[in-house]
Amino acid sequence: MKAILIGFGNVGRTIARILSVERQRFPGLQDLDLKVVGIFTRTRGSIVDDGGLDLACALDAIEQHGRFLPEMKGYCGMSAKEAAEVLDYDVLVELSTLSIDTGGEPALSHIKTALQRSKHAVSANKGPVAFAYHELKKIADEKGVKFLFESAVMDGAPVFNMARNCLKGCQVEEIDGILNSTTNYILTRMEEGISLEEAVREAQKMGFAEADPSNDIDGWDAAAKICVLANAIMDAEINPKEVKRKGIRDITCEYIKVVRQKKKCLKLICSAKKVGTQVITTVEPVEVDEGHFFASVKGEGAVIRLKTDLMGPIIVTQEAPDLYDTAYGVIDDLLTIHRKTI
């Protein structure tokens, strides 16, 4: 199976490391016959080799030089858009960053192009699913290919696999949870007495907050995630700009102290609930009782609760997910396509 990677940031490099220099550590991956034939980045150059790239060499170039070098085998000036349109591949793996302002572009177009060419698509980028899930799913179904995105929400936790394969016959009526680990870490640290700004700087140093944390602290990342869940699991048609959204930017340590005095803690809660024929989605800070399960999710943790008509509620939680969790979600999707298990 031939794949192209669009984006080669932390997640892309972790995938490459797992599939190359660390592969022997993971016996469950030994049957994944995957050739990465192209890696395309916005600012670090691109490389192509129809026979399969040397992923260890690609990793070394980025780690040593910060980019692919012109003297490398397969170095090219091809854009991700051109690659999606013309290269010979079986699956496109979209690993670029979320863009709210552009409605999920250019990742959305990359995936649409692949699907229209009867190529599978795997996305860790939540934007295309948040803004155009039904359009992309329709194309995939018509072309007989898969569009998968397990890493789009809660990293590699099998949320969509569970809904698809383990809740047959159930209608999901409500989803809620803590879906943005960065804000959960910030609020946890604020409970411990440091300011929001200090907590952001810590999260940035630890590598899970972006240089510009606006998508996290203003609730946009969380809004995109609840849209992905609502669209894919509850058959909603909503995009992040339609979510009732309030982030944590204005939360102060003084307010946190008041909440703690009431034996509560503050969490940024995402929710999607069926009300008649509509699905209502919200992202907002909520005062959660100390005894509530959500209150036990600290630091970089995340949690999701699904309520259905037949089964549940079901809770899936993650404790301090890292890049390997996110990378696993992508690899799981690749294994699903490789093994044709859906």
Per-residue pLDDT reduced to its tens digit, 152-190: 999 889 999 999 999 999 999 999 999 999 999 999 999
From 86-100, 197-211, 227-241, the region with the lowest mean pLDDT? 197-211
Judge whether 225 counts as a catalytic residue.
yes
Same domain (yes/no): 20, 131 = yes
Same domain (yes/no): 132, 248 = no
pLDDT higher than threshold 60 for residue 301:
yes
Q: What are phi and psi of 199, to 5 degrees?
A: -65, -40
Catalytic residue among 2, 112, 119, 225: 225
- pLDDT score of 320: 84
Q: Is 294 contained in some domain?
A: yes
Q: Is 266 contained in some domain?
A: yes
Q: Is 163 contained in some domain?
A: no
d(CA 316, CA 151): 14
Same domain (yes/no): 330, 308 = no
pLDDT higher than threshold 90 for residue 219:
yes
Q: Is 164 contained in some domain?
A: no
Same domain (yes/no): 232, 118 = no
d(CA 250, CA 234): 31
Long-range Cβ contacts of 307-311 (<8 Å, 24+ apart): 307/172, 307/173, 307/174, 307/175, 308/167, 308/170, 308/171, 308/172, 308/173, 309/170, 309/171, 309/173, 310/169, 310/170, 310/171, 311/167, 311/170
**The domain that contains 17 carries what CATH number?**
3.40.50.720
Q: What are phi and psi of 76, to 5 degrees?
A: -150, 170
Same domain (yes/no): 16, 99 = yes
- pLDDT score of 342: 55
Same domain (yes/no): 50, 95 = yes
CB 280 within 8 Å of CB 273: yes
Q: Is 162 contained in some domain?
A: no
- pLDDT score of 209: 83
**In 3-state terms, what secondary structure has residue 69?**
coil
**The domain that contains 248 carries what CATH number?**
3.30.360.10
- pLDDT score of 200: 95
- pLDDT score of 248: 97
pLDDT higher than threshold 90 for residue 316:
yes
Task: Specify the number of domains making up the chain.
Answer: 2
121 - beta bridge partners? 92, 147
Record the tokens describing residue 21, joined without a space.
């220099």
Same domain (yes/no): 110, 13 = yes
Q: What are phi and psi of 49, to 5 degrees?
A: -160, 110
Instruction: Give the whole-number percent of the chain exceeding pLDDT 70.
Output: 99
d(CA 251, CA 263): 18
Predicted confidence band at 210 (pLDDT cuts at 50, 70, 90)?
confident
Same domain (yes/no): 150, 36 = yes
CB 167 within 8 Å of CB 159: no
- pLDDT score of 341: 59
Per-residue pLDDT reduced to its tens digit, 244-263: 999 999 999 999 999 999 99
Average pLDDT for the chain: 95
Q: Is 246 contained in some domain?
A: yes
| Residue-number span of the structural domain to which 86 is assigned | 2-156+323-339
Same domain (yes/no): 52, 139 = yes
Per-residue pLDDT reduced to its tens digit, 53-110: 999 999 999 999 999 999 999 999 999 999 999 999 999 999 999 999 999 999 999 9
Q: Is 161 contained in some domain?
A: no
d(CA 95, CA 104): 12
Same domain (yes/no): 68, 107 = yes
Instruction: Give the whole-number percent of the chain exceeding pLDDT 90.
Output: 93
Same domain (yes/no): 112, 220 = no
- pLDDT score of 251: 96
Same domain (yes/no): 97, 176 = no
Q: Is 226 contained in some domain?
A: yes
